[in-house]
Amino acid sequence: MIEESPEIVTQKIVNWLCYLPEGYVIRWNSDHLSPERPYSFSWVDVNIPQIEEIHSWNWTFTIVSEEEKSDDDPLADWVIPLKENFTVYGVYDPQIHWFSLEIPVFTGQLSEAARLTLDKESDRTGREIQELPSWSASWVSKALEDWAKKFAGRDDLVFTWDPTLGPSKMLQAAEEVIKTIDLTKTYEITPGVKVTEGVMDLLIREFLDESGA
């Protein structure tokens, strides 16, 4: 399918929303959330399978922090700036290039027991405890409902997170590629960061395709 412009995709989404029955429940999912981790920070790519059947993009909406959104963003209509509604306390582990410990605090203050657990993990990794402004699934749903009201005039639609919908089309494609990769052959592209031979070949092919070589 030919890649469509943001304006065309936005109009398709609006048209779809306009013709839904009154009180319709729209189920969404995101590769950034899971039942074990029902929140996200940095951003949230929102997948709505029903809508994605009518456009060519890998996801339908992207939630970003208010600080990251600019007025001249070409994706302004479906990139939704949203203030975070709670805090996750995390400890980054350089060995795994991610947070080895995350403790969400949806309401109230961080407990003393949680603080001690974070301190212990911080001592192990040699990294400071970080406060990560985050979005809960219900907060994202509210933002999507506000979007539908603003752009489609539908204040009766209900958005709900459904983790059973499965991964996005893009993640499914990536998982298929991973199955074909030999994980035993790697290149160190920068100190501490390795990439498999199969991924390196894929990146080279993508570069050649884009450059027309």
Give residue for tokens 């920070």. Answer: 41
d(CA 85, CA 76): 22
Q: Which of 96, 137, 93 is nearest to 118 (CA)?
A: 93
Q: Which of 125, 213, 156, 129 is nearest to 17 (CA)?
A: 156
* Per-domain boundaries in the chain: 6-180, 181-213
Tens digit of each residue's pLDDT (9 = 90 or more) over 92-140:
998 888 999 999 998 888 999 999 999 999 999 999 999 999 999 999 9
Query: Mean pLDDT over residues 187-203, rounded?
Result: 61
Q: What is the predicted pLDDT for the residue at 8?
A: 82
- For every residue of 133-175, DSSP letters joined together read EEEEHHHHHHHHHHHHHHHH--SS-EEEE-GGG---HHHHHHH
